[in-house]
Amino acid sequence: MKRSESNRGRNVRLLAIAVMLPLLAPGSVLSGQEPAVIGNASHSAPASVSKDDLAERLRRIVSDPVLTRAHVGLAVQVAETGEVLFENEAEKRFVPASNTKIVTAAVALDALGPDYRWTTRLVADGTVRDGVLAGDLWIVGGGDPLLSRSDLAGWIPLIREAGIRQIEGDLVGDDRVFEDGQWGEGWMWDDLFGGWAAGVSGLQLHPNTVRAWLIPGTNLGDPARVELRGASPALPIDNRVRTGAPGSEVRLRFLPPPEGGDVRLEGWVPVGPDSVPLYLSTPHPTLYLLDYLRERLQSEGIAVIGGVRRADPEERPSSPGWSTDLRSEPLSEVIADMLKPSDNQVAETVLRTVGREAGDGGSAESGIEVVDETLAVWGIDPGAVSLADGSGLSRYNEVTPNAMVRLLRAMWRHPEFPIFESAMPVAGVDGTLRRRLLGTPGESNVRAKTGSLSSVRALSGYLRDGAGETLIFSLILNGYDAPGDVAVALEDLLVEQLALFRRPVAPGWPEYRNVP
> Phi and psi of 360, rounded to 5°?
-105, 15
Q: Please name which of 457, 492, 485, 496 lies closest in space to residue 99, comparing C-alpha atoms.
A: 457
Q: Is 432 in contact with 450 (CB distance < 8 Å)?
A: yes
| Cβ atoms of residues 328 and 146 within 8 Å | yes
Relative to beta strand 209-215, strand 276-281 is antiparallel
**Any residues with CB less than 8 A from the CB of 144 and at least 6 apart, and which?**
118, 119, 120, 204, 206, 328, 349
Pairing state of beta strands 263-270 and 237-244?
A: parallel
Backbone angles phi, psi at 3, to 5 degrees: -65, -40
Could you say which DSSP state residue 40 is in? G
28, burial (CB in 10 Å: exposed 0-12, middle 13-18, buried 19+): exposed
∠ CA(413), CA(414), CA(420), 5° rounding? 110
The answer to whether 267 and 251 have CB atoms below 8 angstroms apart is yes
Q: Which of these, 204, 184, 198, 197, lies nearest to 142 by C-alpha position?
A: 204
- Residues 493, 67: contact at Cβ < 8 Å? no
b/e for 433-451, b at 16 or more Cβ within 10 A? beebbeebbbbebbbbbbb
Stated as kind and residue range, the H or E segment containing 337 is helix 331-339
Name the 3-class secondary structure at 458.
strand
One-letter amino acid identity for 232? S
The phi and psi torsions of 447 (rounded to 5 degrees) equal -120, 110
Q: One-letter amino acid identity for 99?
A: N
Catalytic residues: 98, 101, 342
Secondary structure class of 70 (helix, strand, coil): coil
- In 305-368, DSSP assigns E strands to 308-310, 320-327
On whether the CB atoms of residues 76 and 498 are closer than 8 A, the answer is yes
The end-to-end CA distance of the chain, in Å, is 54
Distance CA 485, CA 401 (A): 22
Residue 24: HSE in the Cβ half-sphere, 13 Å Cα cutoff: 25
Q: How many CB atoms lie within 10 A of CB 306?
A: 15
| Nearest partner of 264 among 273, 277, 255, judged by Cα | 255
